[in-house]
Structure 1
Protein backbone atom coordinates (compact mmCIF):
# COMPACT_ATOMS: atom_id res chain seq x y z
CA UNK A 1 0.00 0.00 0.00
CA UNK A 2 2.86 2.39 0.72
CA UNK A 3 4.24 1.68 -2.76
CA UNK A 4 1.22 3.49 -4.19
CA UNK A 5 2.28 6.63 -2.36
CA UNK A 6 5.48 6.51 -4.39
CA UNK A 7 4.23 5.20 -7.73
CA UNK A 8 1.26 7.52 -8.22
CA UNK A 9 3.23 10.80 -7.96
CA UNK A 10 5.95 9.40 -10.21
CA UNK A 11 3.37 8.40 -12.83
CA UNK A 12 1.66 11.78 -12.65
CA UNK A 13 4.94 13.65 -12.97
CA UNK A 14 6.05 11.53 -15.95
CA UNK A 15 2.69 12.10 -17.61
CA UNK A 16 2.95 15.83 -17.06
CA UNK A 17 6.51 15.82 -18.39
CA UNK A 18 5.43 13.95 -21.52
CA UNK A 19 2.48 16.27 -22.11
CA UNK A 20 4.63 19.36 -21.69
CA UNK A 21 7.24 17.95 -24.11
CA UNK A 22 4.50 17.28 -26.67
CA UNK A 23 3.07 20.78 -26.28
CA UNK A 24 6.55 22.29 -26.59
CA UNK A 25 7.16 20.37 -29.82
CA UNK A 26 3.76 21.38 -31.14
CA UNK A 27 4.42 25.07 -30.42
CA UNK A 28 7.87 24.97 -32.03
CA UNK A 29 6.58 23.60 -35.32
CA UNK A 30 7.88 20.03 -35.14
CA UNK A 31 4.71 18.65 -36.75
CA UNK A 32 4.09 21.31 -39.40
CA UNK A 33 5.49 19.74 -42.58
CA UNK A 34 4.19 16.17 -42.60
CA UNK A 35 3.79 15.75 -46.38
CA UNK A 36 7.05 17.42 -47.35
CA UNK A 37 9.25 14.83 -45.66
CA UNK A 38 8.12 12.00 -47.89
CA UNK A 39 9.09 13.98 -51.00
CA UNK A 40 12.45 15.13 -49.59
CA UNK A 41 13.51 11.53 -49.19
CA UNK A 42 13.00 10.87 -52.89
CA UNK A 43 14.67 14.08 -54.12
CA UNK A 44 18.28 13.75 -55.23
CA UNK A 45 20.25 16.91 -54.48
Structure 2
Protein backbone atom coordinates (compact mmCIF):
# COMPACT_ATOMS: atom_id res chain seq x y z
CA UNK A 1 0.00 0.00 0.00
CA UNK A 2 2.89 2.35 0.75
CA UNK A 3 4.26 1.84 -2.76
CA UNK A 4 0.91 2.77 -4.28
CA UNK A 5 0.74 5.95 -2.20
CA UNK A 6 4.33 6.84 -3.11
CA UNK A 7 3.60 6.29 -6.79
CA UNK A 8 0.49 8.46 -6.59
CA UNK A 9 2.44 11.26 -4.88
CA UNK A 10 5.21 11.05 -7.48
CA UNK A 11 2.72 11.13 -10.34
CA UNK A 12 0.93 14.11 -8.82
CA UNK A 13 4.24 15.96 -8.39
CA UNK A 14 5.27 15.25 -12.00
CA UNK A 15 1.89 16.38 -13.29
CA UNK A 16 2.09 19.58 -11.22
CA UNK A 17 5.55 20.28 -12.64
CA UNK A 18 4.35 19.77 -16.22
CA UNK A 19 1.35 22.02 -15.69
CA UNK A 20 3.53 24.70 -14.10
CA UNK A 21 5.98 24.63 -17.01
CA UNK A 22 3.09 24.81 -19.47
CA UNK A 23 1.58 27.79 -17.66
CA UNK A 24 4.91 29.67 -17.60
CA UNK A 25 5.44 29.17 -21.32
CA UNK A 26 8.55 29.23 -23.45
CA UNK A 27 11.38 31.54 -22.41
CA UNK A 28 11.76 34.76 -24.37
CA UNK A 29 14.59 34.86 -26.85
CA UNK A 30 15.51 34.18 -30.42
CA UNK A 31 17.36 31.49 -32.27
CA UNK A 32 20.83 31.94 -33.60
CA UNK A 33 21.03 33.03 -37.26
CA UNK A 34 24.17 30.91 -37.77
CA UNK A 35 23.58 27.33 -38.97
CA UNK A 36 24.89 24.45 -36.94
CA UNK A 37 27.99 22.68 -38.16
CA UNK A 38 26.93 19.21 -39.23
CA UNK A 39 29.99 18.07 -41.14
CA UNK A 40 33.05 16.47 -39.62
CA UNK A 41 36.14 18.66 -39.99
CA UNK A 42 38.90 17.19 -42.14
CA UNK A 43 42.08 16.04 -40.45
CA UNK A 44 45.23 18.06 -41.13
Instruction: Give the TM bin, normalised by the shorter chain.
Output: 0.5 to 0.7
The structure with the largest helix share of the pair is: 1
Stretches of structure 1 that go unaligned for 5 or more consecutive residues are none
How many residues are aligned here? 34
Report the Cα offset of residue 41 of structure 1.
7.2
Deviation beyond 2 Å, 4+ runs, structure 1: 39-43
Q: CA RMSD in A?
A: 2.8
**Rg: which structure is higher?**
2
Q: TM-score, normalised by structure 1?
A: 0.57
